[in-house]
Amino acid sequence: MYNEKVMEAFSHPKNVGEIENPDGFGKVGNAACGDIMQITLKIEDDRIVDAKFKTFGCAAAIATSSTATEMVKGMTLDEALQLTNSKVVEELEGLPPQKIHCSVLAEEAIKAAIEDYRSKNKK
Amino acid sequence: MNRIYFDHAATTPLDKRVFEKMTPYFTEIAGNANSQHYFGREAMKAVDEARDKIASLIGARPSEIYFTSGGTEADNWALRGIAQAFKNKGRHMIISKIEHAAMITTAAELEKQGFEFTYLGVDENGVVDLEELERSIRPDTIFIGVMYANNEVGTIEPVKEVARIAKEHGITCFSDCVQAMGAIPVNVKDLGVDLLSFSAHKFYGPKGIGALYIRNGLPMGRIITGGHQERTKRGGTTNVPAVVGFAEALSIAEKELDENAKYVSGLRDRFIDRVLSEIPFVKLNGHRTQRLPNNADISFEYIEGESILFSLDLEGIAVSSGSACSSGSLEPSHVLLAMGVDEALAHGSIRFTFGKHNTVEEVDYAVDKLKEIVARLRAMSPLFAEIKGEVKNV
């Protein structure tokens, strides 16, 4: 049901963990639905220099967490806010239809982390 | 890669002895069992023999055995057939909350057609509540259906008591014995049911063949119309090789039942004991002793079942997450929820079902891998991070 790229991202995920004292923190989903995604960001000069995740969820949720964090590293915050779930799915060369909502979670977690950073750093 | 199969509740590999018995019926004795000529008569002879054998193994008469395409069709037929035959007497039916999807989905269809259902609850071990059953019976109740053994958690239900209660009220009683047949003794007279479904591929027989036992004299509607097969109650050319394999598989399963149950439950107990003692934050679902010999259903806290399933698959170990049938949906298992298992915990459940070809070495290898996988996924889980350091009994 999953393609090789998804299985690779799931079995060897990148950016697993938590950044200590993160500049941005986002957590979305809930345990009852079987999906929780937590993203921590290190941000310098409005650019994401590091991103890490912790995810409770299925193989697709873990794969999209890995891919989405990998994609936003190096992006400016405005660029990262443009990251849609379909771009993450595209990067993974597709997900089964019933798993698309997992990629939405990744998009939301990143947005939440950026919003957290912006609300803490209002000029 | 060595592949290990721990998903025998989903299906079992065909026993080689069964395969040998079936082989001539594909190519040599290949007539249509309903043809009147020699080829047909030879095929029918094999079907009759198979029916006799199956009937005697479950304490029924040959005329009470109706071949179907499998358990799902037999379950559908039981519900829909009684609904049709008894709709003028009443439209209320009772089934348990933990029935297989073949029952639950069919009940939902019948609800749309004006039938009313009561879904019996279960306790934390998955055992149906007999008092609730008594209370649920109404003058217009026409059907009571409780499975003999649950496909997800393996709990064995008090079907004999269910059937006794049904009989006292003059209500038709059905039991889905798809998981029980071949694993524990099943006898229609002893259970006292009017209808009973079973399927060959759960006990090392072929896929695509099952049967519905219909007690002689019970009024019954049809769901498949066609030719004169199965005493005109179920049309369709008889799958002769499958029927032959079905009978052979059941006969072997019954002959070797005690031996297999002892061996397989030994593997299961070793697995359960090791997992419960070596992996923290786990819970065995279902009854500890009143369960199928092959089943170990375990919830792993703070991680999700599908991740465990695919991680095990990458190590060559095949298991199911909750019910195989629910793998396409996002809802956690309806069986675990009915047992009162917390939703998050239900998402983290894995069903391991062992078989006669599995070995102790396979069990030990799987537990070792499972420990690594669970630790790896928990290290990734934001839920686990929150409780780390805290010891909590589930």
Q: Where are the domains of chain A?
A: 4-118
Residue B372's domain spans which residues? 4-11+256-380
CATH entry, A4-118, from 1.10.10.60, 3.90.220.20, 3.40.50.170, 3.90.1010.10? 3.90.1010.10
The interface pTM score, or ipTM, of the predicted complex is: 0.94
Please write the tens of the pLDDT for every residue from A102-119: 889 999 999 999 999 999
Question: Per-residue confidence of chain B (394 residues) as pLDDT tens digits?
Answer: 899 999 999 999 999 999 999 999 999 999 999 999 999 999 999 999 999 999 999 999 999 999 999 999 999 999 999 999 999 999 999 999 999 999 999 999 999 999 999 999 999 999 999 999 999 999 999 999 999 999 999 999 999 999 999 999 999 999 999 999 999 999 999 999 999 999 999 999 999 999 999 999 999 999 999 999 999 999 999 999 999 999 999 999 999 999 999 999 999 999 999 999 999 999 999 998 999 999 999 999 999 999 999 999 999 999 998 644 445 566 789 999 999 999 889 999 999 999 999 999 999 999 999 999 999 999 999 998 777 654 444 4
> Residue B191 domain-assigned?
yes
Q: Shortest CA distance to B353 belongs to which of B343, B366, B369?
A: B366
> 3-state SS string over B16-37?
HHHHHHHCHHHHCCCCCCCCCC
Give me the phi and psi of B147, to 5 degrees please.
-65, 150
What's the rounded Cα separation, in Å, for the pair B191 and B159?
7
Q: Does residue B389 fall inside a structural domain?
A: no
Which has more confidence, A99 or B31?
B31
User: Where do the DSSP E strands lie in B46-123?
Assistant: 65-68, 92-96, 116-120
Residue B306 and residue A59: Cβ atoms within 8 Å?
yes
CATH number for the domain harbouring residue B331:
3.90.1150.10
| Domain endpoint, select from B255, B278, B295 | B255
Q: Do B38 and B75 fall into the same domain?
A: yes
Smallest Cα distance from A21 to chain B, Å: 15
Q: Note whether residue B335 is domain-resident.
A: yes
- pLDDT for the residue numbered A72: 97
Distance CA A105, CA A84 (A): 10
Sorted by sequence, the CB contacts under 8 Å of residue B249 that are 6+ apart come out as: B14, B15, B18, B182, B200, B203, B204, B205, B206
pLDDT at A98: 84
Instruction: Please answer yes or no on whether B344 and A2 come within 8 Å at the CB atom.
Output: no
Closest CA to B71 of B184, B203, B171: B203
Alpha helices by DSSP H, listed for B179-288, are 188-191, 240-255, 257-278
Partners of residue B379 in chain A, C-beta under 8 Å: 16
- Residue B325 has a pLDDT of 41
CB atoms within 10 A of CB B63: 11
Q: What is the pLDDT of residue B323?
A: 41
Euclidean distance between CA atoms B25 and B46, whole angstroms: 9
pLDDT of residue B305: 93
Q: What is the predicted pLDDT for the residue at B329?
A: 61
Q: How many C-beta neighbours within 10 Å does residue B250 have?
A: 25
**DSSP percent split of chain A into helix, strand, coil, nearest 5:** 50, 25, 25
Q: In what order do the strands lie in the sheet with B210-214?
A: B65-68, B210-214, B195-199, B172-176, B141-145, B92-96, B116-120
Separation between Cα atoms, residue A1 and residue A62, nearest integer Å:
15
How far is residue B54's CA from residue B71's CA, in Å, rounded to a whole number?
A: 15
With CA atoms as reference, the chain B residue closest to A63 would be B307
- Inter-chain residue contact A32 with B314, CB threshold 8 Å: no
- Residues of B near A (Cβ–Cβ under 8 Å) read 302-304, 306-307, 310-311, 314, 328-330, 332, 343-344, 347, 379-385
A68: left (phi over 0), alpha (psi -120 to 50) or beta: alpha
Per-residue pLDDT at A99: 87
Confidence (pLDDT) at A101: 85
Domain count, chain B: 2
How many CB atoms lie under 10 A from the CB of residue B393? 6
As beta bridge partners, residue B158 has none
- What's CA B219's distance to the chain center, in Å? 25
Q: What per-residue confidence (pLDDT) applies to B322? A: 66
